[in-house]
Structure 1
């Protein structure tokens, strides 16, 4: 298994983006998995792939770096890259990893930021630091959905349906992909087409579970796991 840290870079300036990409590519411990001039596409990729480190410009059209930082419930290691140092104080209020000024000419300074990120990633998060929600791309926007509000998730062709207390969201995503991101202490697969919030189960029969008004099928493949995870009298 690779010990490299996955990285993306988001910057609307192509020259600045190329410089950051070249610095990442020459650094043995880093793995560049995406570069984006469009900040909205960068955020969508970030939410989907959860990179370890994000090199982020501040001043970008439509969605600025600060907008991105403020919107994230679960933050990667964020290294800001900008030509204006006035953003440093505000950025550190949001606990960014480090702040690099453009143009980046000092590789040693770049590596200093990387080492800080590596050190932070080695620290195990406490339970209170873990995210309680997930961002889903819905109608070209990123919506923050709390895990506690998700009843179950249903496969829907190339999409999924995320059923919540208030409505159903249709998201372009595979069921296996969302399964990897949902905490397994709360969610479990009970069918090839369904993932449920196990904390919200009301009734269980031989072939289905009831959550709210919905009855959801349980396949034989997952039945033993389902019953192993509940307490009965």
Structure 2
């Protein structure tokens, strides 16, 4: 249950989404897009609120507008992370925390 989110789909209906299928969370105006393997869920929560609700072991904030699922990061540079063939910006303020969470071999 701790690895699940209940996302509001319609008035009064909430659907369970396993947080392990979440690939990326993106801020979009006053909303957030929760991007999963099955599709996109638009929610009225802020990234800060979602960051508190998502399992710390699985996710890391990488930019003021993105939270990334660690297992879906396929590559990275000093300025970006690659998820789903998409380059996501990596802020300097979040880079050190991200790098400490990845197994990096030099």
Number of equivalent positions: 104
Structure that is richer in helix per residue: 1
Q: State the 4+ residue runs in structure 1 displaced beyond 6 angstroms.
A: none
Which residue of the partner structure matches residue 136 of structure 1?
7
> In the TM superposition, what are the counterparts of 1:16-165 in structure 2 within 5 Å?
73=1, 131-140=2-11, 141-165=13-37
TM-score in terms of structure 1 length: 0.43
Structure that is richer in strand per residue: 2
SS at match of 2:78: coil
Which residue of the partner structure matches residue 93 of structure 2?
221
SS at match of 2:81: strand
For the 8 Å contact 2:31–2:45, the answer to whether it is kept is yes
Gaps of at least 5 residues in structure 1 are 1-72, 74-130
1:205 paired with 2:74, answer no
Largest Rg, 1 or 2: 1
Q: 1:138 Cα deviation (Å)?
A: 2.3
Query: In angstroms, what is the RMSD of aligned CA positions?
Result: 1.1
Which structure would you say has the larger RCO, counting Cα contacts within 8 Å and 6 or more residues apart? 2
Residues 116-148 of structure 1: per-residue CA shift (max 9 Å, x gap): xxxxxxxxxxxxxxx221101123321111111
Which residue of the partner structure matches residue 59 of structure 2?
187
Q: 1:206 Cα deviation (Å)?
A: 1.7
For the 8 Å contact 2:74–2:83, the answer to whether it is kept is yes
